[in-house]
Amino acid sequence: MGLADLHIHTIYSYDGTASVAAVLTRARQIGLDVIAITDHDEIAGSLKALELASQYGVEVIPGSEVTTSEGDLLALNITEKVQPGRSLVETILRIGTLGGFCIAPHPMAGGFGMKSLSAYSILKALRNPDVARVLIAIESYNATAIDRLSNHYARILAERLGIAQTGNSDAHVVEAIGLGATEFDGHTAQDLIDALRNGDVRIRKQREWNSVRIIGSWAANYVGSAFTRLVNASQ
């Protein structure tokens, strides 16, 4: 059985606090086989992780969390930055031309700066058969979402659509990596991608953090990583 966390942020995100090396170290420590670094509208951290991955024994699927005009979208298996601000359908089709695939993260979730896709936007987009070939999963368990009820609604939506469901951490601090994860048969990134397309994945949950811990941990780490982020931004 393989284990993946496909929604992780680093200091290359405006709200991330962990270095790429720290993310890879943590992933190895907790037994993840595959990760995706999905910084907001940025690909540089993910590409760096791709270069370093073999040193850590973790496989990396390069990606980004793209801001569409209708909400956030995980773009995976891409090595080129995707322009933000376009419609959901246009963004998904662009990711498809780059050889990637998409997951709808924290759909319908609100609060604390969340920019989430609505059920209507997802349903409307999936009417396009070309979109349906690229948008292959819904994140029905986001371990660090403040809006816990949204996970319940996301699961119902995914079940009605008959689409694969993933569990991810949406980690903005290194300690949160793996709090939500996706189990699949096999151990490689290609095994995971095949399992997602076949809908043969399972969600694994760790003990949930309460909202105070989620926000408090992020705030403390954000302040603590200020110098690292400043240096990173200047490079």
**What is the per-residue pLDDT across 134-157, written as a single tens digit (0 to 9) for each?**
999 999 999 999 999 999 999 999
How many other CB atoms are found less than 10 A from the CB of residue 197? 14
Domain span holding position 199: 2-234
Res. 224 pLDDT band, cuts 50 70 90: confident
CA–CA gap between residue 80 and residue 43 (Å, rounded) = 7
Please, are residues 108 and 122 in contact by the beta-carbon 8 Å criterion?
no
Res. 114 pLDDT band, cuts 50 70 90: confident
Asked whether residue 228 carries a pLDDT value surpassing 80, the answer given is no
Q: What percent of the chain has pLDDT over 90?
A: 92
pTM of the predicted structure, to 2 decimals = 0.96
Asked whether residue 234 carries a pLDDT value surpassing 90, the answer given is no
Name the domain count of the chain: 1
DSSP notation for 163-226: -EEEEE--BSSGGGTTSEEEEESSSSHHHHHHHHHHT-EEEEE-PPPPHHHHHHHHHHHHHHTH
Q: What is the CATH number of the domain that holds 201?
A: 3.20.20.140
